[in-house]
Amino acid sequence: MKTTVKTFICAFALLAASFTAQAGDKEAKKASTFGTGIYATKTGKINVLVDKGATDSKTTLLLRDAEGVVVYRETVSKDHKKFGRTLNLDAMEPGKYKLEIISGNEVQAKTFELADQKVERILTVN
């Protein structure tokens, strides 16, 4: 009987924790006032798409290196509700980077890493 009660209490505690975590996730999703799409292309560039919806504030794109130094900054006026940018990364050094999209008081961020492509030598004997 004691084992059954303990099992029931543990199951109830896990269930309550699960509902609390899900409620927190829903609040975080509702809090987002703008949407972003950030993806890499086959040619090694990054496409950034922003849909500000009803947000009426300017938007700033920041690209930071591993030390936090801003290597790219662009501010888009509040009049542009939807916009896209293609970031060419060819001249950038290998390393870790963070892309931040800031609109009003909200920040959405993605991290990525640039690495040199390893070149293999091939030896052919005739």
Condensed to tens digits (0 to 9), the pLDDT of residues 71-124 reads 999 999 888 888 899 999 888 899 999 999 998 888 999 999 988 877 787 877
Contact by Cβ (8 Å): 37, 58 = no
Residue 80 DSSP one-character state: -
Report the relative pairing of strands 82-88 and 70-76 from DSSP bridges: unpaired
User: Shortest CA distance to 106 belongs to which of 57, 72, 49?
Assistant: 57
Q: Where are the beta strands (DSSP E) in 1-126?
A: 35-40, 45-51, 59-65, 70-76, 82-88, 95-103, 106-114
Residues in Cβ contact with 95 at an 8 Å cutoff, skipping those fewer than 6 apart: 65, 66, 113, 114
d(CA 121, CA 124): 10
The pLDDT of residue 18 is above 70: no
pLDDT band at 32 (very low <50, low <70, confident <90, very high): low
* Type of residue found at 107: V
d(CA 21, CA 5): 24
Average of per-residue pLDDT across 28-36: 67
Q: State percent of the chain over pLDDT 90.
A: 27
What's domain 33-114's architecture?
A: Sandwich (2.60)
Residue extents of the structural domains in the chain: 1-31, 33-114
φ and ψ of 83, to 5 deg: -155, 165
Query: What's the predicted TM-score (pTM) here?
Result: 0.65
- Give residue 62's pLDDT: 95
d(CA 105, CA 119): 44
